[in-house]
């Protein structure tokens, strides 16, 4: 069975109250960046679960959202947020999502929940992309697994070309892809990303380059730290 961060977290004891408080603090800080009339990209995962009610509680007008997963869409709709297809919204003003790991270089690993393809499309569609996280997500260097979405046709050949990778025991993605994980050391994330992108059977990988990220909000026990990313978007994020 493939080893993934999501599986590992499920096998551990429940997240501490402090970690949940940190996630909530980062999410609330990000929610304050949302303005009336924005076209907003909503990520997925446990930190975004705190973001959705924080946005809904602000009572903003005219905010239209694109969701990166069916679970996020259902949760947003239940809170009264407006969710529309990304193609109907076009370019987004802002996208907000979590991360599995955040390196000092600005590289991210995302996709423990398997939504990284849609998450990357939404992040790339936004003028500003904000990442929210609790303190333990900030690491010295990125470590495996790196999530993959693969085309079902010839998947064993694709896995052989990827290298040390295994399929997850998981249902197909909403777009029909198979989920897998790259398990070897990450090394240089730019080199690994280029290798994975060169393989025809790889739909998308979970490495997000610094150039995609406008701002990272990392909450610890004392405060929410703001780290500027390489992507320049809205001046309101400064």
Q: Is the dihedral of CA 179, 203, 74, 112 positive or negative?
A: positive
**Residue 28 CA, distance from chain mean position:** 17
Q: Is the dihedral of CA 101, 23, 232, 149 positive or negative?
A: positive
Token pair listed for 41 = 């990209």
Please report which helix (H) or strand (E) contains residue 99, including its range.
none
Task: Tell me the C-alpha distance between 84 and 63, whole Å.
Answer: 11
Q: Which residues pair with 132 in a beta bridge?
A: 217
Token pair listed for 55 = 């946005």
Q: How far is CA 53 from CA 2, 28, 77, 143, 213, in A?
A: 33, 9, 11, 31, 23
Residue 119 designated active-site: yes
Which one of the listed residues 119, 141, 191, 236 is annotated catalytic? 119
Token pair listed for 61 = 């007008």
Q: Which residues contact 115 (CB under 8 A, 6 or more apart)?
A: 43, 44, 45, 68, 69, 72, 173
Token pair listed for 106 = 């600005």
Question: Counting every residue, how long is the chain?
Answer: 238
Pairing of strands 207-208, 202-205: unpaired
Residues designated catalytic:
119
């Amino acid at each position: 069975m493939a080893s993934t961060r999501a599986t590992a977290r499920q096998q551990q004891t429940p997240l501490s109250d402090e970690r949940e408080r940190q996630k909530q603090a980062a999410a609330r800080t990000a929610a304050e960046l949302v303005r009336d009339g924005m076209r907003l990209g909503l990520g997925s995962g446990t930190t975004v679960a705190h973001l959705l009610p924080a946005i809904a509680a602000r009572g903003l007008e005219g905010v239209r959202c694109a969701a990166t997963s069916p679970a996020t869409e259902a949760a947003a709709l239940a809170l009264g947020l407006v969710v529309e297809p990304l193609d109907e919204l076009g370019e987004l003003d802002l996208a907000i999502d979590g991360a599995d790991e955040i390196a000092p270089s600005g590289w991210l690993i995302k996709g423990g929940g398997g939504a990284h393809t849609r998450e990357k499309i939404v992040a790339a569609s936004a003028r500003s992309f904000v990442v929210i996280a609790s303190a333990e997500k900030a690491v010295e260097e990125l470590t495996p697994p790196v999530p993959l979405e693969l085309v079902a046709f010839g998947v064993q050949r694709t896995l052989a070309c990827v290298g040390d990778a295994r399929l997850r025991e998981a249902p197909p993605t909403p777009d029909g892809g198979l989920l897998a994980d790259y398990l070897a050391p990450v090394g240089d994330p730019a080199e690994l990303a280029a290798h994975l992108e060169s393989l025809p059977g790889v739909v998308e990988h979970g490495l997000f380059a610094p150039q995609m990220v406008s701002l990272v909000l990392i909450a610890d026990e004392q405060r929410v730290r703001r780290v500027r990313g390489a992507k320049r978007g809205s001046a309101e994020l400064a």
